Structure formats: C-alpha cells, structure tokens
Chains A and B, each alone.
Chain A
C-alpha cells in the first residue's frame, strides 16, 4: 500500500520561529510536492521537486523554502513564520515523467497555526 507520511498532524508555532514540515514517501517516487490548502482557495502549489537536490517554485513560494537531500524525504521550511502562514499543508508524491499525467498520492496533512 502506498504511503506518504507527514511527521506532524498539528503544529502550533510562534511568529518568527523557524518551522520544518517533514514528508516521507515509501513508493520510490521521483516527484514530491508541497501544497497549501485554504478554505475557498483550494490547493495551491508551493514547491515541487523532481529529483534529489532539485526543486522548482510553484505558485506561492514566497516565505517558504524546501530541502530534498534524500529521494524519500521532502522538507518544507518556513524561515520566519508569520500568522498568514497559518494553514493546512499537504505533501504529495508521484512517479517520474512530469506532474501532469501521473497520479499524486497525498499525505494526511499538517495543520499549522502560527500565533
């Protein structure tokens, strides 16, 4: 059974803190994604990675960075958390060949609150 695991279901952080969201997949997928989900806005892509140490900006990369040192792990970093980054964050992975046709498998999400 395919599995994408996000390390935390809920996180509460303070403004200005550095925040790490971790995602691990066990499907040997080349592509990994970070999305942000907000009511009325759907899912918006923050960053994606198509290989180890490779990354591309999505639609809303400002205020975020990512790290992919190993194929199975993709981290989202909030360098200095702000209240407008309070949201649900979803990680996904897919096999190689572009992100259009390949099915994305999602983790359960991390609900981040920044106070």
Chain B
C-alpha cells in the first residue's frame, strides 16, 4: 500500500540555521510530490511540488526540495530559517491511480 512517512514529529532549530525536513514515500512508480505548510490557526499552503523533470525544485519562502528516486525521498530544505517559518509541515504524495496521501506532519519550532 502507498504511504508517506515523515519520521520527525517535532524539530527545533535556531534562527539563521539551516533546515531539512524528511519525507519518505512508498509507491512503485514516480509519484507527484508536494510540501504544504500550515501556520498556526491557518489552513495549508502549498510550498512546492514535483511532477517530473529537474529533481531539485524551488518553492516559495526560500524553500527547496529534492526528489531522490533511489531513496524514495523528497526532503524539504531551507538554508537559513526565519522565526516566521515556525509552523507544521506536511509532505504529500499523489499517484497515477488518483490517490492522494498526506504525511503526519513535522512541527517546526524556531528559537531566537
């Protein structure tokens, strides 16, 4: 069965430090991959998506993610975290069978 795993429930980083949030998926073919962010009290907002082509994708707010087929991963990165990045981050996977799955989320805390 298809699944999405975000192994880190909660991450704390210092402001200005780099960030990497992990996402692994289980799917036989190349999936459609997404990262969403949910700020406190808000709905989810799309950060970036990967469908095909260049495996390094750029998103909004300075985020990027890299699709690694060999590792079934789509990790989210940011070189320098800002306090406003504190939020919950969700990885999501879409399949050619028209299924769509969210991970369980990673909560990010940014300390001054």
- Give A contacts to B, CB under 8 Å: 4, 9, 35, 40-45, 90, 92, 98-101, 103-104, 106-109
Contacts and interface: CB of A to CB of B under 8 A. Distances in A.
A29 to B, nearest CB: 14
A42 B95 contact: no
A100 B98 contact: yes
Interface of B: 9, 32, 34, 36, 41-46, 49, 51, 90, 94-96, 98-100, 102-105
Most B C-beta atoms less than 10 A away, residue of A35, A43, A106? A43
Given A45-B100, A99-B100, A100-B100, A106 B94 contact: no
18 contacts: A40-B104, A41-B104, A42-B90, A42-B104, A43-B90, A90-B43, A92-B44, A100-B94, A100-B98, A100-B100, A101-B32, A103-B46, A104-B44, A104-B46, A106-B44, A107-B43, A109-B42, A109-B43
A10 to B, nearest CB: 11
Interface secondary structure of A, over-half rule: loop
Contacts of A43: 44, 90, 102
Nearest to B44: A106
A44 B103 CA distance: 10
B103 A42 contact: yes
Contacts of B51: 101
A106 B44 CA distance: 6
A106 B45 contact: yes
Nearest to B43: A106
Given A43-B102, A106-B45, A108-B41, 20 more contacts: A40-B9, A40-B104, A42-B90, A43-B44, A43-B90, A45-B100, A99-B100, A100-B32, A100-B96, A100-B98, A100-B99, A101-B32, A101-B51, A103-B34, A103-B46, A104-B44, A106-B44, A108-B43, A109-B41, A109-B43
Nearest to B95: A100
Contacts of A44: 102
